[in-house]
Amino acid sequence: MRVLLVVFFLLISGCGKSALEPLHSDDVIVAFGDSLTAGYGVPNSSAYPVVLSELTGLTVINAGVSGETTEEGLNRLPEVIITENPALIILFEGGNDILRNHDLSKTKQNLAAMIQIAKEQEIQVALVGLPRKQLFSSTAEFYRELADEYKIPLQDDIVASLLRKPAMKSDNVHFNVKGYRALAEAVADMLKEAGAIK
């Protein structure tokens, strides 16, 4: 019984540990991704990085490029880091790889390389997962694997959830104004739970 109590309290204390260091008011967040980051289907003012900036009071750079694959993102990331000097990168890529039936082991490798590039420069990383290419699918497993391996926070259900709700979408794979706001709110909640923001 005593052993079980020790294990229980260890688990509780582990759950409460912050995965991210607190951000300061002058820190920059880079939202890095494809069309779901760029805000395809809505005015620029309704893209999730803009809404996230409103919710957090922090500068959030929209570094989304529609149609981008993880291979292209991997090539683009170093220049974005140099230009924006972020304290945190929200990595939200892989959807185009999945839609185009790319080798997902390579997708995972590309995402891992992006995480490593950021961490080598002491930039914090948070991850947003995307669903597999199946009707009503849950998030692809490799996002959780990456989050566990690199000990970074993961928002692993919002995209799959929104894609199942026609009222939140502008087309089959993109969101409308309400959908992007829900995405931003979920990302903000993830950052709060991870200790990055209050």
Q: Can you tell me which residue has the tokens 């204390």?
A: 13
Element (H, E) at 180: helix 177-194
Domain borders along the chain are 24-194
> Which CATH superfamily groups domain 24-194?
SGNH hydrolase (3.40.50.1110)
Confidence bin at 185 (pLDDT 50/70/90): very high
DSSP E strand stretches across the chain: 28-33, 59-64, 88-92, 124-128, 154-155
* DSSP string across 13-35: HHHTS-SSPPPPTT-EEEEEESH
pLDDT in tens, 48-85: 999 999 999 999 999 999 999 999 999 999 999 999 99
Q: Amino acid identity of 118? A: A
pLDDT in tens, 70-124: 999 999 999 999 999 999 999 999 999 999 999 999 999 999 999 999 999 999 9
Looking at residue 136, its pLDDT comes to 62
